[in-house]
Amino acid sequence: MAQLSRELERAFITDPTHGVSPDSVCQDSVCLSDVLGLAGERVFGFLFVILALPSALPIPAPGYSIPFGVVLFVLAVQLIMGAKTPWLPQKFLKRPLALGTVQKITRAGLPWLRRIEGVSRPRLLPVCQSGLGRFIIGLAIALMAISMMIPIPGTNTLPAIGIFVTGFGLLDDDGVISLGGLMLCLCGLVLTSSILLGLALGGMSLIDWLQSLIHS
């Protein structure tokens, strides 16, 4: 398939009418089904990259982490179960996204996509193509998707970056990039666990302090 950055730039920036199907709600909106038209055969990797991108940006686009995290989790479970092609409800596929927002996210993400594309090529194929490899990738992405859904600062960006990089490796059958993404997912797991543990211990300390205050 053509480079993802070129496809996205052509579909939503250079020639937006190409990326919007006649069935879209209006010419100022884009449906996920329109985006999937660019995916070709490697839909799983494509969806992981596209849905993680808004939260993986240095300045994340607000409002996407929870709903996209839910979808990423559903897709990851399907990958764990060995599905070859993903299933998503039509209601979600037809949900309109503002074209201006899609263009803004695309412009911000293109430099990062091009950097990865510059070094990406098919290698270590079992990581992306074997049942065990896809199971591990699906499990890692499912955990990171759960982290994305947690409404606490610090639990969204790094997990989304891990999903983005892992998904890009899956998209191009590049096991090296997917392994790098899995390492980022591991870092995201450690970060999220640390934040949650810190909050839990902090909450317990506050409760203990209040109890000692009451009993004194």
* Domain edges within the chain: 4-215
Give this prediction's pTM.
0.78
Q: Where are the beta strands (DSSP E) in the chain?
A: 29-31, 96-98
pLDDT the model gives residue 200 = 79
- pLDDT averaged per 10 residues in sequence order, the chain, 216 residues: 72 64 56 70 83 80 81 94 84 77 82 82 92 96 94 87 93 92 95 85 61 64
Q: Contact 174/128 with Cβ under 8 angstroms?
A: yes
Q: How far apart are CA 152 and CA 60, in angstroms?
A: 14
